[in-house]
Structure 1
Amino acid sequence: MSSAARRDDVLLEERRGHAVWLTLNRPDRLNALDTTLKQRLVQAAVAAAADPEIWVVVLRGAGGRAFSVGGDLKDMRARDRDGGRPSTPMLEEARNVYEAVLEIPKPTIAVIDGFALGGGCELAMACDLRVASDDALFGMPESTRGMGANFGSVLLPRLIPRALAMEMLYFGDRITAEHALRIGLINRVWPKAELADRVDAWVADLLTRAPLSLRRYKEMAGKGWEMPVSANLRLNAGPNPYLSEDRIEGARAFSEKRAPVWRGR
């Protein structure tokens, strides 16, 4: 945990080598995304993107009951009752929380332990990889609350087959971790009791890969998402690993039959 973080912070930040672990820390509200937490997430995402010593970002929720249940409906109700101006996603100051995570130019992993609903499910979608406990539940209930799932309605049909995405959006029903795995929404399902250890090992394994190569993959795949193949192949996005010290180290380590020592440059 960073020196500035306290246990009562809404977002905990912990550096583990070249990875930063961001923990949504409102377990009493199932890590609902209020304005303060959204702002902290944006700040942390920007900082992680800019720090050359951070190679992987892990996002999780505190408490073991939820990754996040999305927008804080109690706060919304209080604002409505007090006559506050309603907010519209993508048109407000807080709109950048999902974009900020989506645009981190390094591998991002969402660890879902329990509920990932509404904006919490959208936050998981903003990450590159998603792993879950076997009791995790996913859902986009906005159609049952009169809201619009602005980010999810764009991202979900790009992550899973369109018909399945539209079913999730239209009906707002919850799906299990096993179902989410079958349709390609998440990458792994592990027993709840083993989740922490499995994630630790997965992240440690990922950190043995060349960080500039991972960044190149992220930016090429993201920026060329809907480009024609011919244009995407000519896209020069992200760092060029072929010109890096790490490329030289990778070849040397292979010939010397040892693990490479990456420097991220």
Structure 2
Amino acid sequence: MVHTEDVVIEITDLVGWVTINRPGRMNALAKSTFSRLVEASLELDARDDVRVVVYSGEGSRAFSAGVDLKELDAAGSMLHPMGGPSRNLNEVVLEMSKPTIAAINGVAAGGGCELALACDIRIGARGARIGLPEAKVGMGANFGSVVLPQLVPKAIAMELLFTGNLIGMETAERIGLVNHVVDPDDLRSFVSKFAAQIARNAPLSVQRMKAMASKSIGLSTSAALRLDVGPDPYRSQDRIEGNRAFVEKRMPRFLGR
């Protein structure tokens, strides 16, 4: 289990929580933080006792302020975001088989915003802000430039990319970038209940739906319907259990098989 100074993992009631633990640096992403987040994501995706993965930041100031610019300044150079010897964090999160939630507890900027964009669902604390300020510091927002226009209208995405401005959670909810906005003190409990609701459902069904929705982007309807990706819930034990539980008027006991 990955549990280091800058990345903390908890597993509670089938939900894996990944917390970026660098509050003194606004949870900025150092090179080591990226690597540990990749390790944590891959491990939680492979665990049978985890059905939903939640990403958040320690403290109330930041989800993540993005790449650690002090570390980058000291290094003097950086690799292309999709190159190098290790996997790209956002690509790993985007391709996880299990549902992912970004619990945006504070500022989500740059790489922090991109991590939130890689998640399936975003839930924000009132007062938090999100955006891609890369144009203001000479970066490229490689992942955000591709994914953001898929999540909000293109003109709005281009405005956010070109200006580098951060927006509040209410605006982000209005344009469809975040699903829910809650009071900061309620964020953890709201996300816990939300994730638990997903975790109670048949995991193979949820994973199948995620795979179909993700991999069908850009395809024609007829081609997408014939993708047949992800696990097969139709022939699963959980399908039989779900049907039987409905007939017997009880809660189903899904095992992921």
Quickly name the TM-score band, shorter chain normalised.
over 0.9
Preserved CA contact (<8 Å) 2:38 2:87? no
- Residue 73 of structure 1: how far off its partner (Å): 0.5
Preserved CA contact (<8 Å) 1:48 1:104? no
Query: Aligned pair count?
Result: 257
Instruction: Say which SS state the counterpart of residue 46 (structure 1) adopts.
Output: helix
Q: Does 1:27 align with 2:23?
A: yes
RMSD of aligned Cα (Å): 1.2
2:230 to 238, 241, 251: 238
Cα distance in 2 for partners of 1:104, 1:72 equals 25
What is aligned with 1:39? 35
- Residue 18 of structure 1: how far off its partner (Å): 1.5
Identity %: 48
Q: Does 1:215 align with 2:220?
A: no
What is aligned with 2:3? 5
Query: Per-residue CA shift, 1:204-261, capped at 9, x if unaligned?
Result: 1111211111100111111111111101100110001111010001111111111111
2:56 to 49, 57, 60: 60
Cα distance in 2 for partners of 1:240, 1:107 equals 17
Query: Per-residue CA shift, 1:63-105, capped at 9, x if unaligned?
Result: 111100110001111112xxxx432211223551110111110
Cα distance in 2 for partners of 1:161, 1:42 equals 30
Preserved CA contact (<8 Å) 1:38 1:94? no
List 4+ stretches of structure 1 deviating above 4 A: none
Instruction: Say which SS state the counterpart of residue 31 (structure 1) adopts.
Output: coil
What is aligned with 1:118? 110
Segment drifting more, 194-203 vs 23-32: 194-203
TM norm structure 2: 0.97
Instruction: Say which SS state the counterpart of residue 93 (structure 1) adopts.
Output: coil
Cα distance in 1 for partners of 2:45, 2:202 equals 17
Instruction: Say which SS state the counterpart of residue 105 (structure 1) adopts.
Output: coil
- Residue 46 of structure 1: how far off its partner (Å): 1.2
Instruction: Say which SS state the counterpart of residue 225 (structure 1) adopts.
Output: coil
Q: Does 1:199 align with 2:199?
A: no
Cα distance in 2 for partners of 1:43, 1:113 equals 22
Instruction: Say which SS state the counterpart of residue 203 (structure 1) adopts.
Output: helix
Cα distance in 1 for partners of 2:42, 2:3 equals 17
2:133 to 141, 145, 164: 141
What is aligned with 1:78? 74
What is aligned with 2:217? 225
2:81 to 63, 66, 89: 89
Preserved CA contact (<8 Å) 1:31 1:67? yes
What is aligned with 1:190? 182
2:124 to 132, 135, 146: 132
Preserved CA contact (<8 Å) 2:14 2:196? no
- Residue 157 of structure 1: how far off its partner (Å): 0.3
Preserved CA contact (<8 Å) 1:23 1:59? yes
What is aligned with 1:161? 153
Cα distance in 2 for partners of 1:207, 1:95 equals 27
Q: Does 1:253 align with 2:245?
A: yes
Matching residue's letter, 2:129: L
Unaligned runs of 5+ in 1: none
Query: Per-residue CA shift, 1:173-193, capped at 9, x if unaligned?
Result: 110100000000000000111
Preserved CA contact (<8 Å) 2:13 2:196? no
Cα distance in 1 for partners of 2:178, 2:152 equals 10
Cα distance in 1 for partners of 2:69, 2:94 equals 24
Cα distance in 1 for partners of 2:124, 2:234 equals 35
Cα distance in 2 for partners of 1:5, 1:114 equals 22
Distance 1:27 1:89, change over 3 A: same
Instruction: Say which SS state the counterpart of residue 88 (structure 2) adopts.
Output: helix
